[in-house]
Amino acid sequence: MKPMIKSPLQIARASYQPKLPEALKHHVVLKEGKFTESIADHEDIKALFPNTYGMPLIAFETGEKVDYPIANAAVILSGGQAPGGHNVIAGLFDGLKKMNPSNKLYGFLGGPAGLVDHKYIELTKEIVDDYRNTGGFDIIGSGRTKIEEEEQYEKGAEICKKLGINAIVIIGGDDSNTNACVLAEYYVQKNTGIQVIGCPKTIDGDLKNEMIETSFGFDTACKVYSELIGNIQRDANSSKKYWHFIRLMGRSASHITLECALQSQPNICLISEEVEAKNATLTDVVEEIVKVIVHRAEHGLNFGTILIPEGLIEFIPAMKKLIEELNELLAHNDDFNAMETDEEKRQYVKGLLSPESSKVYRDLPKGIARQLTLDRDPHGNVQVSLIETEKLLIEMVAKRLANLKAHNDYKGKFSSINHFFGYEGRCAIPSNFDADYTYSLGYTAALLILSGKTGYMSSVRNLTAPAFEWIAGGVPITMMMNMERRHGKLKPVIQKALVHLDGAPFKYFSAHRKDWADESQSYVYPGPIQYYGPTEVCDQPTKTLLLEKE
């Protein structure tokens, strides 16, 4: 294989030593805390997870030397890329090797499918060293295959037995960690001796709770998008001629959009959770945008920026109902899948929807209606990244402005440009925060494995303090669960954390957005992520985290 060609920054980052919580730099002792309960539906979850329900919280503290047994572990990267994944692996590798150099780490290739299909590599020092502090998941690849059948669990157990693997670390979002917990329970029930540990990954920032302060990758991705938004704002402020409609990844939750707004102060920022709470229609959303555009035009400002969360459409109540109906309708629907033309599919869907949803569906531009019926992801979710909400809004806003113009109520000029930022940030070189956080998560996962734990998620807390004050431990995954309807059935799942309207980040935004919308100039230009330099420039966590911890 040809050696990787590295940029000067990559070469410099290869020797960056991520910071660890102080306790992890020494011998550690495992301290058990309170026994736990699921966030809701206690009896149902307890019945489904008789062996892994209610386990205590865990913290690692400085202590005496412990002789750990030999452990061979394997790691899986699951779902969308997030900056820092390689450092979880590096931390896991270093943790395992430090406790016993004979410990081995394998990587299953291409996501959870690698476990079932027995595709793997042994991760050696040479391989891991090549990927330290880099973005991407390409060390072993990722995938979205859902492991949910007994046959898949058994195939996994078979390869683990063959390789002598006694623990699997699944690095994933809420759905992947839910599956990790199901797998952990199954392996205990079958007495396989295989432990399963989860790790909180997703740029979306929606895997968080009291014990998981943030998912990794959110920090870096938001910083990359905010840099781009800032650059666009400077461009808009220079040429003064375009309204930029910027859709941001994040699936259902608007955390990314909110964080980018806090960092860049755009003229308008929509938050899906607020739209839902206000029971707003698409027309209400358009009116809100138009109001600001008209106001700025009255001051001669025919330009601006609008941030749109990619999941917006799912939070407009009428659209939400339509999507829910479509989800049920399209789950395993062979008739629909066999249809060849879009028109055939359109007619078929229209006929089966409730009268209200059928009307909403008919009124949508055809392109958007088609995007709503595209394949669901393996977890049954609409792939919101494929729905071009920014274009839908541009179309509706332009129509409304033309109407106002015809009545002499708007004298401005409306030229728009659409953007979608998602893939640009998911594999960025991790910020110092993400590099340190992920390395610590991986190292903590190694300790959980060596302590014989299963059904836990690696947790590193107190993240707004300097890294040496971070607290490392484990959280039982069942603690984060409740029952929800998926693919038409009630299932135990980790509850997604949406933006709380009574939370500090939203409150801050809501208190300032009027100033950001008006004619005074309040754009912020965050600039690119800095890896070297003063700590206030290089080591800051997200504004969301800072406000939440205030």
Helix, strand, coil share (%) of the chain residues, nearest 5:
45, 15, 35
Instruction: Enter the tokens of residue 101.
Output: 């150099």
- The bridge status of strand 304-309 relative to strand 416-421 is unpaired
Instruction: Choose between 172 and 412: whose C-beta lies nearer to ligand FBP.
Output: 172
C-alpha 365/C-alpha 373 separation (Å) is 13
Query: E strand or H helix at 121, and its extent?
Result: strand 120-122
In angstroms, the first-to-last Cα distance of the chain is 50
C-alpha 173/C-alpha 495 separation (Å) is 11
Nearest CA among 489, 430, 465 for reference residue 549? 465
Nearest CA among 182, 188, 77, 95 for reference residue 139? 77
Question: CB of 542: closest distance to ligand FBP in angstroms?
Answer: 16
Instruction: Choose between 173 and 474: whose C-beta lies nearer to ligand FBP.
Output: 173
- How far does CA 309 lie from the centroid of its chain? 13
Question: CB of 157: closest distance to ligand FBP in angstroms?
Answer: 25
Question: CB of 255: closest distance to ligand FBP in angstroms?
Answer: 10
Question: CB of 3: closest distance to ligand FBP in angstroms?
Answer: 28
Nearest CA among 26, 12, 513 for reference residue 292? 513
**β-strand partners of 201:** 216
C-alpha 41/C-alpha 403 separation (Å) is 51
Instruction: Choose between 426 and 453: whose C-beta lies nearer to ligand FBP.
Output: 426
Nearest CA among 180, 214, 210 for reference residue 195? 180
Instruction: Choose between 133 and 176: whose C-beta lies nearer to ligand FBP.
Output: 176
Question: CB of 142: closest distance to ligand FBP in angstroms?
Answer: 8
Active site residues per annotation = 204
C-alpha 24/C-alpha 440 separation (Å) is 8
Question: CB of 258: closest distance to ligand FBP in angstroms?
Answer: 14
H helix runs in 478-530, sequence order: 504-517
Instruction: Choose between 112 and 455: whose C-beta lies nearer to ligand FBP.
Output: 112
Instruction: Choose between 72 and 202: whose C-beta lies nearer to ligand FBP.
Output: 202
CB-based contacts of 119-127 (< 8 A; 24+ apart in sequence): 120/74, 120/159, 120/163, 123/75, 123/89, 123/93, 125/93, 125/97
- How far does CA 393 lie from the centroid of its chain? 24
Instruction: Choose between 247 and 296: whose C-beta lies nearer to ligand FBP.
Output: 247
Question: CB of 310: closest distance to ligand FBP in angstroms?
Answer: 6
Where along the sequence are the contacts to ligand FBP (CB under 6 A)? Answer: 79-80, 82, 173, 202-204, 249-251, 310, 384-385, 422, 426
